[in-house]
Amino acid sequence: MKYEIQYEGLAQLFGGFIMWIMKACKEKNIQKIYFFTREGEFFKHIYDKLLESGADRDKYPAAHLLEVSRVATFAPSIQEVCIQEFQRIWSLYKKQSMRAFFTSLDIDIKGFRPYLEDYGLPEEMVISNPQADKRVMAFLRDEYVKEMMIQSVAEKRENLIAYCEKNGIRQNEKGRIAVVDIGWRGTIQDNLCVIFPEIQWEGFYLCLAEFLNQQPFNGKKYGYLNQGNSAVALRYPTPIEMICNSPAGSVIGYNKDGEALRLADRCENKAYVSFTREFQTRIADKVSVKYFTDMSESQILEHGERALNRFLLFPPRKAAQAYFSLKHNEMFGNGAFLNKQFKIKKKLFILACICEKSRRQLKQALYDTTWPQGYLTVSGMPWLVHLYNRMLERNYLI
């Protein structure tokens, strides 16, 4: 069974997303707009294409790229070394090793190893609910640990501020700045809100999930797909990240000269070369102001959402193959690149036909792939995709 990519509908999705942002910037009189790496590089390209094709381009702010990531911005946003600050990580990642914790902060664990040993914290041991672990609490209360962390955090904040100033964002500046990213909870924006408290940050996202942390007073967030039915997008975010990805690598920090440091993984970029590059080119080729002239905003949203849902629920084989060749960057939280290659034994599919326990195991195994429909497609079982969507997913997507 062959599924085709609906490029016209997906062009409406991304074009509609950007036009929604442009309209909001005009209404709010926002003079600066920054697109966050990595997905924002694709969004900025669509923004620039729409500006070029429109007659009133002077009414909208010029787009800038801001090289950021959760790893690069979280440590600089830390105000003090305490459980409450790190709860911003642990609300998202309920289990974490101390090695992954320090990787998320982009702080070298080497100098902290003697203290980890003193408090009985093997760096590779995965800890459930670290915020409630007495050893973790004692470790973070240690004055020497605090001092070393504060020194590292202060240096990272200084470097990030230098980078932002070189790109037109100043610490004592007032006013509003629009930022654009894929989603899902806008935690990079939260970090920038803390570092630049005088600025009002207006965040525009393809889709937003429920917030798990207290939102900063100087930030607002808006989700494009949240205006419709965002259940499918929120169920399968990583395939959407793949089609919006950039080959330039993730930002891992900044040097003293205020330059962004980026890490590009060759294996991670294989999916970009084999699929995403052509996908983005074909989408961008269809985007222009004229293309949307005869459609209302609600029609553009509806058509784009329908095309995205079809891509996620009935994936083309080439997209699924690219996805399951990915090494996904999860340095923040998990402290590693995660391999998307999965193998579910065919025996489990057979047993699931006759055994309730095996059905539950199969359902969990497919869920763990992070794109069940893609896995079934790439594994030579596309005929099961319809059954999966109708039966196993109905409680989540309806």
Residue closest to 285 by CA, chosen among 66, 15, 104: 15
Q: Average model confidence (pLDDT) for the chain? A: 91
Number of domains in the chain: 2
Give tens-digit pLDDT for 300-326: 999 999 999 999 999 999 999 999 988
Which of 340, 366, 384 is where one domain is finished? 340
Q: What is the average per-residue pLDDT within 192-208?
A: 97
Residue closest to 112 by CA, chosen among 126, 123, 104, 97: 123
What pLDDT does 288 receive? 82
Q: What is the average per-residue pLDDT within 245-253?
A: 93
What pLDDT does 158 receive? 97
Distances (CA, A) of 135 to 95, 204, 293, 318: 15, 39, 61, 47
Residues 185/212, Cβ–Cβ less than 8 Å:
yes
Task: Check pLDDT > 80 for residue 345.
Answer: yes
Please indicate, yes or no, whether residues 357 and 293 belong to a single structural domain of this protein: no
Please indicate, yes or no, whether residues 348 and 326 belong to a single structural domain of this protein: no
Please indicate, yes or no, whether residues 243 and 367 belong to a single structural domain of this protein: no
Please indicate, yes or no, whether residues 372 and 225 belong to a single structural domain of this protein: no
Please indicate, yes or no, whether residues 315 and 361 belong to a single structural domain of this protein: no
DSSP assigned state of 209: P
Please indicate, yes or no, whether residues 377 and 235 belong to a single structural domain of this protein: no
Cα–Cα distance measured from residue 76 to residue 78, given in angstroms and rounded to the nearest whole number: 6
Residue closest to 352 by CA, chosen among 343, 342, 341, 365: 365
Please indicate, yes or no, whether residues 290 and 358 belong to a single structural domain of this protein: no
Q: Please report how the helices 143-166 and 98-105 are oriented relative to each other, as an axis angle in degrees rounded to 10.
A: 30
Task: Check pLDDT > 60 for residue 398.
Answer: no
Look up the domain containing 388 and give its range: 342-398
**Using CA atoms in the order 185, 187, 188, 194, what is the torsion angle rounded to 10 degrees?**
140
Please indicate, yes or no, whether residues 253 and 348 belong to a single structural domain of this protein: no
DSSP assigned state of 68: -
Please indicate, yes or no, whether residues 196 and 236 belong to a single structural domain of this protein: yes
